[in-house]
Structure 1
């Protein structure tokens, strides 16, 4: 049986982001996926109209069922929503999937600005999920939000926040550059303790696409599940997102 990628996150009714985007990405990589839904949302490109968290015991049961259905080679975590769900996810994957690499996409707000993780949930994520993560993938606004949570204040340097995340126990931090100031290039930077910062760049387009963060993290998880190095996994994921933009521009 081919090992699967376990996708933990929210269900986006528009399919622009969340678990449907994750599952499509993993399928393109040639792998099966299993899912644990943390929240059901009603969304369009304009914003989030409604949000209903899934009870924590149901989230726990979904992860347990996924783990019991066959080997899980990697885990991708997206939207968590609230503290009790973040805590449940942390405890359940630690108990059932202790060896699987974990890619954590810190979904803090929707593209429209609506909060998708409360302050208590962020604290749990930092304390219990960061130490378990092989890679954390914040975009620049998320990185600044995390910097404030670490007490680094407004406008903290990117490298300073990345080091704070590494100090919490995660193995690597990929800062996504889609919100960067360069009008021509979107450049992501990979931080690891004691290693040179690696960069991954692609052309920038004059429009946005929803779900690129979900796609990036799930593509990395799929590549790690297939045994690729972290550097190769990030490069492959960056190329896949760039190709999506290229096709959308045609």
Structure 2
């Protein structure tokens, strides 16, 4: 469980993730129970080192014995060494997203049936294709019920805010409705198709206009961080475990400066290691 925030404007793409990794078990009644939460998870990555492309994840934190962080770095290495069939000097965001999806989908399919049935996995890939004038944002989702191949959710000309993980705070704050609005309407006897239309109209009419497509990079960073911090505080006061928390990792992708860490946790003092990239 986590929060992933993407803010896409004309000048940049900002990714923010928290660091909470929840260890979930199933009780005798078949309900999922959070056993413990670690606050040092890595969910944000430079997917091709030195290039303007980033990735972030939420949902399932590991496939078998390998964490998503380790698998993502394996994907990065495969691309860099030519094993992915992608030229790291001439690529599209779609190519990278599709390759990552193939790797993750195969690993997910190899999990035991009970794990797959109870799990979901989301992965975002965003940035600039080699020949791209603007950034793109792609999203893939894999669950026990179905797999959604990478979808282009924001093309080069589209600016938007996107979130996933535990969306309650963002839905309430930005869209002005509850995530349960459609369920409430259907429970009240409204047809599902009509309930969906009504929910969409409510969200459109009550949406807060927080995003400006021409906002500077720093303001896009501040907006993304604000939404993530709000989610952390919101979940803190809800009943149950603090399943969103820890340090926030923040990165930007711009056309000319490429991938840049804005804020990043380290589990060792930076002065002990001369490397400045620290694994990206």
Is this a same-fold pair by TM over 0.5? no
Q: TM-score of the superposition, structure 2-length normalised? A: 0.30
Q: Work out which of the two has the higher radius of gyration on C-alpha atoms and give 1 or 2.
A: 2
Kindly indicate which of the two structures has a greater share of residues assigned to strand. 2
Q: TM-score of the superposition, structure 1-length normalised? A: 0.33
Q: Which has the higher contact order (CA 8 A, sep 6+)?
A: 2
Kindly indicate which of the two structures has a greater share of residues assigned to helix. 1
